[in-house]
């Protein structure tokens, strides 16, 4: 059985999407889904490809036990629309960019990340890049909650397939 694959996308792939990538990966391992879930992240814009994740994002994530140090910014590739089962956008502008470049047969894969959050939040995960330290903590709260929702959805889907 091929692993279920999820791509998380933001503008630069420096803060939000790589943080969500690592949080989701860790939560999948903790729930025993590590071998059944492939997680990656990418940028909609080629501003920082190849650069490490933002230092502040790394620092705040590390305080919660998430190591982002091995991640680097990657640009969304055309083949990603076929390769991934679910593509989650961190904000409206990312989803619009994805919709403009996505072949119609894969449009059903595109969703907001926040639709998996248990608490009502804005449809956008705020970009903490130019913000204050507390902004990174708030984004981590949203990401942890959303990743829990993604894990629940993947577990339900896997359970349905095994019947």
Would you list the DSSP string of the chain? -PPEEEEEEESSSSSHHHHHHHHHHHHHHHTT-TTTEEEEEEESSTTSTTPBPPHHHHHHHHHTT---TT-B--B--TTHHHH-SEEEESSHHHHHHHHHHS-GGGGGGEEEGGGG-SS---SSPP--TTS-HHHHHHHHHHHHHHHHHHHHHHHHHHHHHT-
pLDDT in tens, 13-56: 999 999 999 999 999 999 998 898 999 999 999 889 999 999 99
Strand partners, 8: 41, 88
Active site residues: 10, 16, 127
CA angle 16, 92, 34 (to 5 degrees): 40
Does the pLDDT of residue 120 top 80, yes or no?
no
What does each C-alpha distance from 138 to 13, 28, 47, 99, 126 come to in angstroms?
18, 21, 25, 27, 9
- What mean pLDDT do residues 75-93 have? 97
Entry pTM: 0.95
**162 pLDDT above the threshold of 70:** no
Q: Is the pLDDT of residue 159 over 90?
A: no
Instruction: Tell whether the model's pLDDT for residue 154 goes beyond 90.
Output: no
Percentage of residues of the chain with pLDDT beyond 90 = 82
Q: What is the pLDDT of residue 161?
A: 64
Provide the pLDDT confidence category of residue 142 given band limits of 50, 70 and 90: very high
How far is Cα 67 from Cα 59, in angstroms, rounded to an integer?
9
């Amino acid at each position: 059985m091929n692993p279920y694959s999820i791509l998380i996308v933001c503008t630069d792939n420096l803060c939000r999407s790589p943080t969500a990538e690592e949080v989701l990966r860790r939560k999948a391992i903790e729930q025993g889904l590590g071998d059944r879930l492939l997680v990656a992240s990418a940028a909609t814009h080629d501003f920082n490809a190849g650069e490490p994740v933002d230092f502040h994002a790394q620092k705040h994530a590390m305080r919660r036990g998430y190591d982002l140090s091995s991640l680097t910014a990657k640009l969304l590739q055309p083949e990603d629309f076929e390769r991934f089962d679910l593509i989650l956008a961190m904000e409206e502008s990312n989803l619009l960019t994805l919709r403009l470049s996505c072949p119609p047969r894969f449009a059903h894969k595109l969703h907001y990340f926040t639709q998996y959050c248990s608490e009502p939040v804005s449809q956008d995960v705020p970009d903490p890049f130019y913000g204050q330290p507390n902004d990174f903590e708030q984004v981590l709260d949203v990401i942890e909650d959303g990743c829990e929702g993604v894990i629940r959805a993947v577990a339900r889907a896997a359970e349905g397939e095994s019947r």
